[in-house]
């Protein structure tokens, strides 16, 4: 992309000129001039495309003070009115879908179709949140005491903290922020310093809506170059809920620190996702689903397909088809039409890819296709397929890169057992034409993952279902279903409308007043 095109793109998104990295409501963009600038580089050629000034401690405090005040004002706004605010933001995103999708691809490296899809996911989530704002239902319960009424209601938490990763630089924020907002919270976002431009672009669109509609500054952001402010954020008692998306290693630390102050955390961590292909499977469905699941976003999704368990009756044919399909994957500039796989995020990711390939070979794996870093500008690698065994340590490691391990099995029971042997439990899939196998996979004795699909891949979840997983994936749930409850506190209410004061459980306690 030319410099003129980039400048035009940033200008359309309101990012022309110098952009620091903190927004504190009425204070505006931070004007501090200390700290080292963050260099934003395109992973497609490692060219410098922008510089962003990170927030400092003063900026952070201004953001949090403003967010606390905004939460107090926002909690009194009726939920359907909150939904209307999110709807207006969704309309702003619709107007800028093309530019924002291009910026995602430019900064993150995912192909344009995926960049646009990520923005569409935000738009869809805004529509979902609008409807959900009228359905924040509690329950009514029958009291054992006469002339008493029991019910429960859901109330805002206050300030929701959102920490997102580079691989979905804007969509995952919307899962949390849009639901958090309709639930009556102010949301403070700490995006990845690897993708700050997309965060600033989205924040700019938020600012337009908040200023135009005279709303409290319920959406705020700060960008931290290191970990100092992020750690302060996690430890901050003003943050009622910390929603963290990232690695299991870091998520374990975040969860521990939040728990130490008795706060709430929502953890969306790693995945070592598997597809099972049984002897009855339609390979015309299975092959493209596996390829997209393994190659999409260059293997940098938490739902990326990393293991395939193929029944020995079809393993050779599936292997042949997968290798053929992989050799058709066009690798290149993510903004060019026809590209199916862009670059990894940075040189360190390329190093981890190469190390994993070497470890798989040393364990006895057979490299069937790919496996090399491309000698060209940018962070490009070949998507790889390795014939492997499930118990190898490298196969049980989540490598954020397009490496697929192909593992033959003798039965569905063996496949499920090996799939569930992973420490992670995010997404899983079975390709089958046998009803009994499908129901076995979805039973309590089947997949132990938070997502279990039949005849579609591990990646590309719809927003209507709750997203998240078990075990080392963290146990959190975001997006659809009743995930909104994570952003509210439950309160049980009992109203006595009698002239007596009976106690529960038949307890007698007689005193005169």
Cα dihedral 268, 272, 277, 282 in deg (nearest 10): 50
Name the active-site residue from 118, 302, 449, 478: 302
Q: Where are the alpha helices (DSSP H) in 25-143?
A: 57-74, 79-95, 97-108, 112-132
Q: What is the β-pairing status of strands 22-23 and 219-222?
A: antiparallel
Q: What is the β-pairing status of strands 159-163 and 239-245?
A: parallel
Cα dihedral 255, 256, 258, 263 in deg (nearest 10): 90
Per-residue DSSP letters for 439-491? HHHTSTTS--SSEEEESS-SS---TTSEE--EETT-S--EESTTGGGGGEEEE
Q: What is the β-pairing status of strands 186-190 and 219-222?
A: parallel
What length is written for the chain? 513
Per-residue DSSP letters for 359-414? HHHHHT-EEEE---B-SSSSS-B--EEEE--TTSTTTTS--SSSEEEEEEESSHHH
Q: Which residues pair with 385 in a beta bridge?
A: 369, 404
Distance, first Cα to last Cα, the chain? 81
302 among known catalytic residues: yes
Q: What is the β-pairing status of strands 219-222 and 424-425?
A: unpaired
Per-residue DSSP letters for 494-509? EEE-SSS-PPGGG---
268 among known catalytic residues: yes
DSSP 302: T
Structure tokens that stand for 191 in this block: 């995006």
- Please give the C-alpha separations between residue 331 and each of 14, 189, 289, 406, in angstroms, as whole numbers: 31, 32, 18, 22
Name the active-site residue from 268, 319, 398, 478: 268
Active site residues: 268, 302
């Amino acid at each position: 992309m030319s410099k003129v095109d980039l400048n035009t793109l940033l200008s359309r998104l309101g990012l022309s000129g110098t952009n620091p990295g903190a927004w504190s409501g009425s204070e505006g963009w931070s004007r501090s001039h200390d700290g080292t600038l963050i260099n934003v580089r395109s992973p497609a050629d490692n060219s410098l495309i922008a510089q962003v000034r990170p927030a400092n401690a003063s900026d952070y405090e201004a953001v949090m003070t403003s967010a606390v005040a905004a939460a107090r004002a926002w909690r009194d706004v009726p939920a359907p009115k909150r939904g209307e605010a999110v709807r207006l933001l969704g309309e702003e995103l619709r107007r800028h879908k093309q530019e924002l999708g291009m910026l995602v691809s430019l900064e993150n490296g995912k192909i344009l179709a995926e960049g646009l899809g990520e923005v569409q996911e935000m738009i869809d989530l805004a529509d979902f949140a609008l409807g959900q704002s009228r359905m924040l239902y509690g329950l009514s319960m029958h009291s054992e005491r006469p002339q008493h009424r029991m019910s429960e209601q859901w109330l805002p938490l206050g300030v929701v903290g959102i920490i997102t990763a580079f691989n979905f630089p804007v969509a995952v924020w919307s899962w949390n922020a849009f639901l958090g907002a309709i639930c009556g919270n102010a949301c403070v976002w700490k995006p990845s310093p690897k993708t700050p431009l997309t965060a600033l672009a989205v924040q700019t669109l938020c600012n337009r809506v908040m200023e135009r509609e005279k709303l409290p500054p319920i959406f705020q952001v700060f960008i931290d170059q290191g970990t100092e402010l992020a750690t302060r954020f996690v430890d901050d008692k003003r943050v009622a809920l910390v929603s963290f998306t990232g690695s299991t290693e870091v998520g374990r630390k975040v969860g521990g620190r939040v728990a130490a102050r008795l706060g709430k955390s929502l953890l969306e961590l790693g995945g070592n996702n598997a597809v099972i292909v049984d002897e009855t499977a339609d390979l015309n469905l299975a092959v493209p689903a596996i390829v997209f699941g393994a190659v999409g976003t260059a293997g940098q999704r938490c739902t990326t397909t990393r293991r395939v368990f193929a029944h020995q009756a079809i393993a050779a044919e599936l292997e042949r088809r997968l290798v053929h399909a992989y050799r058709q994957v066009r690798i290149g500039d993510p903004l060019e039409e026809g590209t199916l796989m862009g670059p990894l995020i940075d040189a360190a990711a390329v190093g981890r890819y190469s190390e994993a390939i070497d470890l798989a070979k040393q364990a006895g794996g057979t490299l069937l296709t790919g496996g090399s870093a491309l000698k060209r500008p940018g962070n490009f690698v070949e998507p790889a397929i390795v014939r492997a065994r499930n118990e190898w340590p490298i196969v049980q490691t989540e490598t954020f890169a397009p490496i697929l391990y192909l593992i033959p099995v003798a039965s569905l029971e063996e496949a499920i057992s090996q799939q569930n042997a992973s420490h992670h439990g995010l997404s899983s899939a079975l390709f089958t034409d046998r009803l009994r196998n499908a129901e076995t996979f979805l039973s309590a004795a089947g997949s132990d993952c938070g997502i279990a699909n039949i005849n579609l891949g591990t990646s590309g979840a719809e927003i209507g279902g709750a997203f998240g997983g078990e075990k080392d994936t963290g146990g959190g749930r975001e997006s659809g279903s009743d995930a909104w409850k994570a952003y509210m506190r439950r309160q049980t209410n009992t109203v006595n409308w009698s002239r007596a004061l009976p106690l529960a459980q038949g307890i007698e306690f007689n005193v005169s007043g």
